Amino acid sequence: DQQVKQNSPSLSVQEGRISILNCDYTNSMFDYFLWYKKYPAEGPTFLISISSIKDKNEDGRFTVFLNKSAKHLSLHIVPSQPGDSAVYFCAARGSSNFGNEKLTFGTGTRLTIIP
């Protein structure tokens, strides 16, 4: 049972326009949500995160929005650049008593920026 879902396997966006990547989750106990970016033949790298007590977090061209009532989060990239072409994974962290909680990942969305 996929607790974190990315329903769009791929997305193509014109350079300079906005890229919007979406993610849905089912577990209301998740306390942090993250986006990771992955280039071919490399490991995923952390991009941006948001606490479940917030609804927006911004870092340069990247903004993550969280809608808890809809159990939905999105990543906005403005403006999109060719170097943003990669696979983007949405991830959610469940709380535990150990202080090093595990992440549940979605299946990823391949973003292609068209020059």
Partner 1 sequence: DAGVIQSPRHEVTEMGQEVTLRCKPISGHNSLFWYRQTMMRGLELLIYFNNNVPIDDSGMPEDRFSAKMPNASFSTLKIQPSEPRDSAVYFCASTSGLRANTGELFFGEGSRLTVL
* Binding interface with partner 1 (CB under 8 A): 6, 32, 34, 41-46, 49, 51, 89, 91, 93, 98-108
Q: Are 111 and 37 in contact (CB under 8 A)?
A: no
In whole angstroms, how close is the CB of 110 to partner 1 at the nearest point? 11
Question: Is the separation of the CB atoms in 109 and 11 below 8 Å?
Answer: yes
Residue (77 or 108) nearer to partner 1, CB: 108
Q: How far is the CB of 51 from partner 1 (least distance, A)?
A: 8
Q: Using the minimum distance from each CB to partner 1, give the nearer residue, 104 or 112.
A: 104
CB atoms within 10 A of CB 101: 15
Distance between CA 33 and CA 114 in Å, rounded? 28
